[in-house]
Chain A
Amino acid sequence: MRLLTHNMLSSNIKGVTNGFPLRIEAEKVVEKTVDFNADFLKNMFAKVEWNALVEASKTMGYFELPDNVESSMLESDEFLQKFHHALLELHLEEGALICPETGRKFPVSKGIPNMLLHEDEV
């Protein structure tokens, strides 16, 4: 699971007011190479929840992302490369996503998070 996906996912459990962001429990992280596309990154920059991305990338072992950002940094290729790496190239293969309010674990296996809710959580 890429951090791009993680940044969009939120806990859907009944009664949870803010299910975002899901905490990551990383057991196995893999790095993949993905084509760099500056346009896409600039477009995504507005949508991405930056703090969540930084926290998530740290749990995956990547500490290069700056904590504070402003849109002027999008001009810097160096920054874009780091952004690209964190967003698209870090993959969680095995581990879990944890709902911030209930603590419920959503297992991640083979890179696919299992977000299926039980009967009583709907």
Chain B
Amino acid sequence: MTSRPELQAPPEIFYNDEEARKYTSSSRIIDIQAKLSERALELLALPDDDMPKLLLDIGCGSGLSGETLTENGHQWIGLDISQAMLDVALEREVEGGLVLSDMGQGLGLRPGVVDGAISISAVQPPAVSLSYQWLCNADKSSHEPRLRLKVFFATLYRCLARGARAVFQVYPENLAQRELILGFAMRAGFSGGVVVDFPHSTKSRKEYLVLTCGPPSLRSSIPKGKNEDEESCGDEESSGDDENDAVCVSDRHRPRKKQKLNKKVKGREWVMRKKEHIRRKGNAVPLDTKYTARKRKARF
């Protein structure tokens, strides 16, 4: 008995359009993008004066992140390399000005006009289909990745107003890439560092590169990342106790290799919490005694 032929996959030529639609219609993705954009906007630390600003959305895609900017009352210009994604943004009638461009070629904006820039999920691991790998675009032989990075940061620095920030939400997988990006940013004149939210959770961990146009100052100190236990974040003046959450890098030094984030040896508290959690689920859990989470000998 012959097996049924498989359904034809959509032709390669429509791949981008299909994927663009799928990406944008997933409610989970919409939700995630909104949260990431809100956080990035927060990290932009725009003055609290109810004045609408002109912002840049780098890699705006279908406008999911741009909508957050609109909701917060700002005007924005969105740049993206994918016509398919921009078409979806048009359908969704986003309020921002859309431009089809390749940021590795330079942003092409007048100096000092932009009050802040965000970039949500624009740098992604190569496996993800929709990523335009402006970092490692090996297709165009003349666009050597390092040159593209250099041009991008130089033009970004130029178009930002003094004291303005650029916030990039990047994926932790690209640790090496992140260091590379930071390096180029510093060389273009940016100061800044990384804010990590929920560093101990593999699922919730999010990283943001926060770059400031101009020399480091009190105002531009890196905000504290979010933690499971605290809600605190965005407190600008506190740069003191950030060692686990943020790496503060100034423009004169090479970016310090991010300290290997040693998952805090899971203390008794954590173990007790987990046991409670599992108990609640109804599973059998040994009783809590004075031996629970006792420090064992190294060779245990």
Contact = CB atoms under 8 A, between A and B. Distances in A.
Given A5-B97, A40-B52, A12 B108 contact: yes
B113 interface: yes
A43 B51 contact: yes
B97 A10 contact: no
B110 A110 contact: no
Given A8-B109, A40-B52, A111 B99 contact: no
A39 interface: yes
A112 B108 contact: no
Interface in A1-51: 1-2, 4-5, 7-12, 19-20, 37, 39-40, 43-44, 47, 49
Given A10-B108, A12-B108, A122-B105, A116 B100 contact: yes
Nearest to B93: A32
B52 A47 contact: no
A24 to B, nearest CB: 14
Nearest to A5: B97
Given A8-B77, A39-B50, A43-B51, A112 B106 contact: no
Contact of B110 (A1, A20, A37): A20
A9 B50 contact: no
Contacts of B99: 1, 5, 9, 112-113, 115
Nearest to A11: B108
Contact of B90 (A4, A5, A111): A111
Contacts of B105: 12, 116-117, 122
Nearest to A7: B110
B100 A19 contact: no
B75 interface: yes
Interface residues of B, number: 32
B52 A37 contact: yes
B142 interface: yes
A94 B16 CA distance: 23
A67 interface: no
A17 to B, nearest CB: 13
Contacts of B53: 43
A116 to B, nearest CB: 6
Contact of B101 (A43, A49, A110, A115): A115
B77 A39 contact: no
A77 interface: no
A68 to B, nearest CB: 21
Contact of A19 (B83, B101, B108, B113): B108
Q: Which of B52, B90, B155 has the most CB of A within 10 A?
A: B52
A114 interface: yes
A37 B51 CA distance: 10
A78 interface: no
16 contacts: A2-B97, A4-B77, A8-B54, A8-B113, A8-B159, A10-B108, A12-B155, A19-B108, A43-B52, A49-B110, A110-B90, A112-B100, A115-B100, A116-B81, A119-B140, A122-B105
Given A4-B54, A12-B155, A47-B113, 19 more contacts: A4-B77, A5-B77, A8-B77, A8-B110, A12-B105, A20-B110, A37-B52, A39-B52, A40-B52, A43-B52, A44-B54, A47-B112, A110-B87, A112-B90, A112-B98, A113-B100, A115-B99, A117-B105, A122-B106
Interface of B: 50-54, 75, 77, 81, 83, 86-87, 90, 97-102, 105-110, 112-114, 140, 142-143, 155, 159
- A-B pairs with lowest CB-CB distance, top 10: A5-B97, A12-B108, A40-B52, A115-B101, A12-B106, A114-B100, A117-B105, A112-B98, A47-B113, A8-B109
